[in-house]
Each structure stands twice: as structure tokens, then as C-alpha cells.
Chain A
Amino acid sequence: MYTFSNRLKIASFILMAVGVLGIGIGFITAPSTVEEAKAMVASHDDGHADAYDATEDITAHDSSHDEHLLHQLQNKPWAALYVAALFFMMIALGTLAFYAVQRAAQAGWSPLLFRVMEGITAYLVPGGIAVFVILVLSVAHMNHLFVWMDADVVANDKLLLNKSGYLNGPFFLIRAVIFLGGWILYREYSRKLSLAQDESNDDSNFKLNFRISAGFLVFYLISESIMSWDWIMSVDPHWFSTLFGWYIFASMFVTGITVIALVTIYLKSKGYLKDVNNSHIHDLAKFMFGMSIFWAYLWFSQFMLIWYANIPEEVTYFVTRISDYKIPFFGMLVLNFVFPLLLLMNSDFKRVNWFVVMTGIVILIGHYMNLFVAIMPATVGDQWGIGIAEIGSVLFFAGAFIFFVFRALTKAPLQPKRNPFIEESKHFHY
């Protein structure tokens, strides 16, 4: 049995406390009037004010522009909170998908890691609720994250009016409930069967778990795709892309696998998980490597198709990102693709713990940037920054993630007892 070390628990509480403080400061310092917003921009932009005058028309600075600026600045703490909440929820969800794949594929190497994965997916409940609360607050007009939720905007926008059959508050929340409900239901049920299998005399729990995992994967594929349209793509409601769901999937899958590797290495270093050997780490690192390339493949496929055809209604998505987000937009490509490609290519490196940890941290930062670049341009535009609100939000959810994951790990033995593949997994050697 794993015992939650006090130091880690205190660390998670400190992270949450510092995070709450940061989030609070973010909300307090957000401007409430147009004048405040203008004053903030004026004080911040001393350094590159000339760049603004050069690129922007004087006539653009009318009152509607100022109000736009106000909304962007008011969105900043909300968007920071949303990106972080979504990022950590998607780690748990990606892990859940990986877990279901391992069960459905009857993988022989991974059963030793099932309890670690179950521990990580425990965050899906609080993390999913956190995301849902933000979505409810958005529908309740507490913020301007989703422009299609503004009735005045939709009334004057034919394109949004045509989409209002799909993009409307109640339906949006119903979909969110169905998706989160389905994921959490599978997670809890599969966990129950997994624990029941330890105590049972036959393999019926295991077989049932195999079937529901296969069923969950079908549900997950559909719901994940729709989730990515709803929660991420719809911040840019004029833009659409068909492979977006896959692209978001690749991102959450690779972060999920990375966190499995990091938690496994941590637990092993503390003396738990005695039977996990470096071949298991090697396999996880291979998945990190392969999925990083898969993410890059989808990122490039989406970018290159739109860049090549250059259709105005599609290309604005990348125009705003390249003009306002050049460093995070291309930087994440280095973090998410070039770095893992070169570091995890060597088979020996994949067995070295500190190498996997280092690459894993880079991948996590890179995929936070991935989500950041997906959400921020539509919500805060060129007013983005990585400041107190952003870092505070990440710290808060990181603290909550650590707390819920490691608390769940204490609830059951870290090694499944009667899994039919456990002996194979113990002797797994690559």
C-alpha cells in the first residue's frame, strides 16, 4: 500500500494556496471599465508602442475597439483558469483513454501500471467538475470566453445565427454533462471491477472490464471529437477544421502517457512498484516518442493544408496566431516534436529515468502551450501574457492534480493481484 507522504501533501496544498492567490490577483487586477483597460495597455505598451501605431489604423481606435480591449483584458484571468483546468482534466482523460486501450488490447506489459493509471484518472472527477463549472459560468455570462454565447453578437452575425442550432447554451451544457458523465462512469466502474478482480475467484470481472473498455473507446472517440469542437474550437466560432478532434486527442494522449511515466518513476524511486523494471519505462517512453510525432503530424497536417490553400475564412486562425503568438506557436513545435524526437530516439536513453523525466517535463510544458495557443488568441487576442493569473492557475490545478492523484493511489494496493496478465507484466523484458 502506498502512503501519501506528508511532504508531498503539504507541497500540493502550498501549490493550491499560491495558485488561489495568483488567480485572485488575476481577477482583482482585471479592469472593470474601458478607461482602466486603456490605461493598462498604455502603461504596458511603452516599449513597443510605435509598433502599434505603425500597424493599426487610427480610425480603428473607436469606442467599439476599446470595448473589445476591455473584454480581452477581462477575459485574461478566465482564459488562464480555463486553459489550466482543461489541461489537467485532459491529462486524466488521456490517461483514461490509454488505460482503456491497454485493457481492450489485452496488453501484457502494462497491468503492473494499471493502479498508477487508475490513480491518475481519479482526477477526472474533480477536474471534470472544475471545467464544467467554468463552462456553466460562461453560459451564465460571467465572462466572454465564448463569443457565440453573447446574444447580441449572434443576432448580428449570420454565420453564428446559422450555427445556433448547435452552439447554444443549454445544448452545450447537456453535451458537456453527457461526455463528463460517460467518462466518469467508465472510470468509476472500471476501477470497481479492477478492485473486485483482486478479490474474486474467477476472471469474470476482468472479462467484463475488457468489454466495457472496448465500448468506452467507441464512446470516447465520438465524445472526445465533439468535446474538442465544443470546448476548444468554439472559442473561434467562425473557424472550423475537420481533424481538430484528432489533434486535441493526440495532445491529451501524449500528456497522459507522459504523466503515467512521471508518476511511475516517482513511485518507483520511493520504493513502491518493486516489479516495475526499466523495460516498462522504455515502453512508456516509446509511446511518448511515437505520440509526440503523431501530434506533430496532425499539427502540421492541419497547418499545412490551411496554409497551402490559403482560403481567407480558414486562414485567419493561423494569421492571428503567427502575428501575435509567434514564440509560443512555433516554440511548442520545438518542445513537442524536435525535443522528444531527438532525445527519445535512442533506445538506451528511453531506459534512463532522468532522461524520461526531463523530456516528460518538456512535453508537458509544450502541450500546455498547445492548449494556450488554441484558447488565448480568440479570448484575449494580442493582450496575452504568461503572468500571475496564468502561472497561478497552473499551480492551483497542479496542486489539485497531485492531491487527488496521490490520494487515490493510497486507496488500493499498487499491484493488481489476480489480473490474468500480471505474471507476464512482472517478467516483462524488452
Chain B
Amino acid sequence: MASKVIHAFYDDDDVLMHAVKKVRAAKHHIEDIYCPFPVHGLDKAMGLAPTRLAITSFLYGCVGLVISIVMMNYIMIEDWPQDIGGKPTFSFIQNMPAFIPIMFELTVFFAAHLMVITFFLRSRLWPFKEAENPDVRTTDDHFLMEIEIHGNEQELKDLLLDTGAVEINITEK
């Protein structure tokens, strides 16, 4: 089923912010907004839920820490506890200071890389992905607000022009 969407263009992020507030106040659902750069506070104005990426990162860090502990405890203490330069290998805790640099680095490694991969997966980004850009100008100097039309085309158009849109297109999606 083909649905029609309205594309409203803005050329200023301040105007865009006010437009978002007006559109939200008029109870229209904003499908998406395309910006050439991050607009501070736009997510709050749109009412988007806060990201949980930091929480995943913390959990990935914990995984990295556990892996490093288990790995070194197995290799250095349990599997082959050699005397290397007089370092005590009788228990993990006795030789722990020597392991801490690795424990730290693996924690950071897991937290950073898995979080980045999570970000790519959640935002569906990969090398040969086809760009979903509705208009090339949105990567340079224009902001685009996309709203779905449910038979209220003229009303929406008036509202968006009133908020300072510089151009309005209606396209099939």
C-alpha cells in the first residue's frame, strides 16, 4: 500500500526546532527528521526515548573483564603455573597486579568495540548499504521533516508553511 508523505524543508536549525514543537503541539506524528549535523536538543523536542547504548557498553565491559580474568586464571595459574622471574603463580590474587593492565585493556576493548557494533546494528549501517536520503540537500545545508499524510494534506501544508518551511514536497513512499 503506497502512502503519501509530506517533506518540509527548513534552512535553519532554530526554525526547525520551533517547527518541531508546533507540529508536536498540533498532534501530528513526525516520521523522521533529516539533518546535515546534530541539532542540540532535537531528540528532546521530538520526544525520542533516551539511548541505552551506554548501558550496553557497561555490560560489554563487564564481559571483557570476566573474559580476561578467566583467560589469565586458566593460562597462568591453572594450566601451566610456571615460575617466571619469581612471580607467584599459586593463586590468581597473588599475581593479580601483573594481570591488571590486560584486564583493563580488555574491558575497554570489549566495551568500546561491542558498543560500536551495537550502534551499527541498531542504526542499520554497513559498508554497502544504500543511502536512505530523501533529498541530497539534507547532507549539506537543509533540514527535512517527514510527516505521513492521512487525508489531511492541505491542513498539514498550511501548518508547515506557517512554521517557516522554505519548500514543501509531497511524495509517494
Spell out A's residues near B (CB within 8 Å): 300, 303-304, 307-308, 310, 345, 347
Contact assessment for A303 and B58 in the assembled complex, using a CB-CB cutoff below 8 Å: no
Interface status of B97 (Cβ within 8 A of chain A): yes
Interface SS of chain B: helix, strand, loop or mixed?
helix
Contact assessment for A303 and B97 in the assembled complex, using a CB-CB cutoff below 8 Å: yes
Q: Chain B residues with Cβ under 8 A from A310's Cβ?
A: 86
Contact assessment for A308 and B98 in the assembled complex, using a CB-CB cutoff below 8 Å: yes
Closest partner residue, chain A, to B58 (CB atom): A345
How far is the CB of A244 from the nearest CB of chain B, in Å?
18
Contact assessment for B86 and A307 in the assembled complex, using a CB-CB cutoff below 8 Å: no
Contact assessment for A304 and B86 in the assembled complex, using a CB-CB cutoff below 8 Å: no
Q: Chain A residues with Cβ under 8 A from B58's Cβ?
A: 345
Query: How far does the alpha carbon of A424 sit from the alpha carbon of B6 in the complex, in Å?
Result: 39
Query: How far does the alpha carbon of A384 sit from the alpha carbon of B58 in the complex, in Å?
Result: 40
Give the total number of A-B pairs whose CB atoms are below 8 A apart: 12
Q: Chain B residues with Cβ under 8 A from A300's Cβ?
A: 97, 100
Query: How far does the alpha carbon of A308 sit from the alpha carbon of B98 in the complex, in Å?
Result: 7
How far is the CB of A398 from the nearest CB of chain B, in Å?
35
Nearest 7 pairs between A and B by C-beta? A304-B97, A307-B97, A308-B98, A300-B100, A308-B97, A304-B100, A303-B97
Q: Chain B residues with Cβ under 8 A from A345's Cβ?
A: 58
Interface string of B62-102 (1 = CB under 8 A from A): 00000000000000000000000010000000000110100
Query: How far does the alpha carbon of A300 sit from the alpha carbon of B100 in the complex, in Å?
Result: 9
| Interface range on chain B (Cβ under 8 Å from partner) | under 10
Query: How far does the alpha carbon of A304 sit from the alpha carbon of B86 in the complex, in Å?
Result: 15
Closest partner residue, chain B, to A306 (CB atom): B97
How far is the CB of A282 from the nearest CB of chain B, in Å?
15
Q: Chain B residues with Cβ under 8 A from A347's Cβ?
A: 54
Query: How far does the alpha carbon of A345 sit from the alpha carbon of B54 in the complex, in Å?
Result: 10
Query: How far does the alpha carbon of A310 sit from the alpha carbon of B98 in the complex, in Å?
Result: 12
Interface string of B38-75 (1 = CB under 8 A from A): 00000000000000001000100000000000000000
Closest partner residue, chain B, to A342 (CB atom): B58
A and B contact pairs by CB, cutoff 8 A, 12 listed? A300-B97, A300-B100, A303-B97, A304-B97, A304-B98, A304-B100, A307-B97, A308-B97, A308-B98, A310-B86, A345-B58, A347-B54
How far is the CB of B148 from the nearest CB of chain A, in Å?
33
Query: How far does the alpha carbon of A53 sit from the alpha carbon of B54 in the complex, in Å?
Result: 55
How far is the CB of A102 from the nearest CB of chain B, in Å?
24
How far is the CB of B101 from the nearest CB of chain A, in Å?
8
Query: How far does the alpha carbon of A303 sit from the alpha carbon of B100 in the complex, in Å?
Result: 12
Query: How far does the alpha carbon of A300 sit from the alpha carbon of B103 in the complex, in Å?
Result: 13
Query: How far does the alpha carbon of A205 sit from the alpha carbon of B98 in the complex, in Å?
Result: 52
Closest partner residue, chain B, to A304 (CB atom): B97
Query: How far does the alpha carbon of A292 sit from the alpha carbon of B25 in the complex, in Å?
Result: 45
Closest partner residue, chain B, to A429 (CB atom): B41
How far is the CB of B158 from the nearest CB of chain A, in Å?
34
How far is the CB of B54 from the nearest CB of chain A, in Å?
8
Q: Chain B residues with Cβ under 8 A from A307's Cβ?
A: 97
How far is the CB of A424 from the nearest CB of chain B, in Å?
15
Closest partner residue, chain B, to A300 (CB atom): B100
How far is the CB of B125 from the nearest CB of chain A, in Å?
25
**Which of B58, B97, B98, B100 has the most CB atoms of chain A within a 10 A radius of its CB?**
B97
Q: Chain A residues with Cβ under 8 A from B54's Cβ?
A: 347
Closest partner residue, chain B, to A297 (CB atom): B104
Closest partner residue, chain A, to B41 (CB atom): A429
Closest partner residue, chain B, to A303 (CB atom): B97
Query: How far does the alpha carbon of A316 sit from the alpha carbon of B12 in the complex, in Å?
Result: 66
- For the complex with contacts A308-B98, A310-B86, A345-B58, 9 further pairs of A-B residues with Cβ separation under 8 Å are A300-B97, A300-B100, A303-B97, A304-B97, A304-B98, A304-B100, A307-B97, A308-B97, A347-B54
How far is the CB of A224 from the nearest CB of chain B, in Å?
27
Q: Chain A residues with Cβ under 8 A from B86's Cβ?
A: 310
Q: Chain B residues with Cβ under 8 A from A303's Cβ?
A: 97
How far is the CB of A233 from the nearest CB of chain B, in Å?
22
